[in-house]
Amino acid sequence: MVVDHNSLWTRQPEESVLMGKVGGFLDFSRKDPGYRAAKKRLADFEPVELRLLDAEVRAQAARCMDCGTPFCHGCGCPLANVVPELNDLIYRGRWKEAADLLLSTNNFPEFTARVCPAPCEASCVLDINDEPVTIRQVEMAIVEKAFEKGYIRPRAPRRRLGKKLAVIGSGPAGLAVADKVNRRGYKVTVYESALRPGGILRYGIPDFKLEKAIIDRRINLMEAEGIEFELGVSVGEDVSCRFLQDRFDAICLTGGSRQPRDLAVPGRELSGIHFAMEFLVLQNMLLAGDDCSGMRDINAKGKRVVIIGGGDTGADCLGTALRQRAKSVCQLEILPEPPEKRGPDTPWPEWPNKLRKSSSHEEGGERRWSTATKEFLGRNGDVVGVRAIEAEWGAGQNGGRVPRERTEYEIEADLVLLAMGFVGPVRNPLFEELGLECDERGNITVDGRNMTSVDGVFAAGDMARGQSLIVKAMLDGRKAAEGILDHFA
């Protein structure tokens, strides 16, 4: 079909009360921006994803269906971004209004547009029998246009109120808390144990997915709005909670879920087996020019790498190892390979169980499914291989997995990275100092306002809810901020 793109911007009078272009989803197919050529992007750590042109973004926004119930807004997006209205504003070319609307629900769309898996798209009505609207790309275009045109600029509170808040941790939850409370006029200080702010955004996500200049741009903005960052300070060790309680009217804990899940199999003690975050954090610090002396040197160059864990962290390890010129990379996943398309077990508008490929999977390496690790093999104290076994799902009790008989095999490995997720927050002296109540998984228990068992002490993000998405951490931060504002009132 030959489409007259000029007609895209022509609205008939009877269409004025409708959202977007009537029938736009029939005129335009989904278009993703794609990535830089694999050979070129493997030579650096620069962002891999390309950007759509403004006209292309508007055409994609025109695909929004004006559906009666926008599941993308109510079911898909934890932050409840007003997706249909955003699409309509972009279709009309009203970028400033779109930016204002997006920022009313999302503190940091420049982060979510880059690293959120976009559950909104999975619940788009078009996804029932077509390709969903490129909601994430529309969000990216809005926020970058807003920075480019100066729609986003420092807006410090006109007056300061008397209360003060201390936020412990500068990841997405902590930054969301700080931003929302500061905008109401209260003084906010963010304490971060690392030398740079951003938490997992800065240290856990590779630059090729989230370039750190994007984080710096937002931090500089927040500082210009009056938020103070105390870096290289570990609360509970460098300063006590009593110190903070004497100086602040409320404390919010947002330290994340950083205790990695381990793999207790024979040979775990061998040299060359590391948690994924050790590997990723070191690479991010090296790229930033940070002092890495005293840290273990973990590099994949020339090595046979095995990654245990098939999620996003495992994919980040894959992309990093390939850029470090690994000899080979094999990623193991204990779950079976998902179907190419949405399966009947996760019907629309649920988050679909289907095969997902990141940019890293397009660059190289091997993926193996339904594979369990039985043992690490060593020589002279160093890991040299992994003994694996095929696992059959649905054969054990309660639909669990059982190993398949006579399916053991060995994989050569000089470097093993454990990327199996996290089990809870790292224990900190402040837990005992404050007497915080925790659940059976070690997460801090909170009430409906995100207040802990200690009056005036709040918790948000993965530290309270457990490992989750960045968008849910930000939602938690916004919710905790509301609880803190009620506490201050």
Q: Average pLDDT for residues 31-44, to the nearest whole number?
A: 97
Rounded Cα gap, residues 351 and 282, in angstroms: 32
Domain boundary among 86, 116, 149: 149
Q: Average pLDDT for residues 126-144, to the nearest whole number?
A: 96
- What is the band of 460 on the pLDDT scale with cuts at 50, 70, 90? very high
Rounded Cα gap, residues 211 and 203, in angstroms: 11
Q: Nearest to residue 353, comparing CAs of 362, 340, 334?
A: 340
- pLDDT of the residue at 21: 81
Q: Residues of the chain with pLDDT > 90: what percent?
A: 85
Q: Residues of the chain with pLDDT > 70: what percent?
A: 94
Average pLDDT, the chain: 93
Domain boundary among 404, 420, 436: 420
**With 60 as the cut, is the pLDDT of residue 64 above it?**
yes
Q: Average pLDDT for residues 45-61, to the nearest whole number?
A: 97
- pLDDT of the residue at 378: 98
Q: Find the CATH number of the domain harbouring 109.
A: 1.10.1060.10
My answer on whether 415 and 266 are in the same domain is yes
My answer on whether 325 and 464 are in the same domain is no
Amino acid letter for position 443: N
My answer on whether 79 and 130 are in the same domain is yes
Q: Average pLDDT for residues 8-22, to the nearest whole number?
A: 51
- In terms of Cβ atoms closer than 10 Å to its own Cβ (0-12, 13-18, 19+), residue 191 is buried
- pLDDT of the residue at 349: 94
- pLDDT of the residue at 182: 98
My answer on whether 77 and 104 are in the same domain is yes
Phi, psi of 423 (to 5 degrees): -110, -5
**With 90 as the cut, is the pLDDT of residue 209 above it?**
yes
Look at residue 183 and tell me if it is in a domain: yes
- pLDDT of the residue at 393: 73
* Token duo for residue 393: 């799902």
Give 211's contacts (C-beta < 8 A, 6+ positions apart).
46, 47
Look at residue 159 and tell me if it is in a domain: no
Domain boundary among 420, 436, 461: 420
My answer on whether 241 and 189 are in the same domain is yes
My answer on whether 274 and 224 are in the same domain is no
Query: Domain of 67?
Result: 5-149
Per-residue pLDDT of 227-263, as tens digits, reads: 999 999 999 889 998 899 999 999 999 999 999 999 9
- pLDDT of the residue at 398: 60
- What is the band of 4 on the pLDDT scale with cuts at 50, 70, 90? very low
Rounded Cα gap, residues 204 and 436, in angstroms: 27
Look at residue 158 and tell me if it is in a domain: no
For the CA atoms of the chain, what is the radius of gyration?
24
Q: What CA–CA distances, in Å, run from 405 to 263, 361, 368, 391?
A: 22, 30, 18, 9
pTM for this prediction: 0.93
- Considering its fold, how many domains does the chain have in total? 3
- pLDDT of the residue at 395: 60
My answer on whether 234 and 312 are in the same domain is no
How far does the chain reach from its first CA to its final CA, in angstroms? Answer: 60
- In terms of Cβ atoms closer than 10 Å to its own Cβ (0-12, 13-18, 19+), residue 289 is exposed
**With 60 as the cut, is the pLDDT of residue 442 above it?**
yes
**With 60 as the cut, is the pLDDT of residue 11 above it?**
no
- pLDDT of the residue at 17: 47
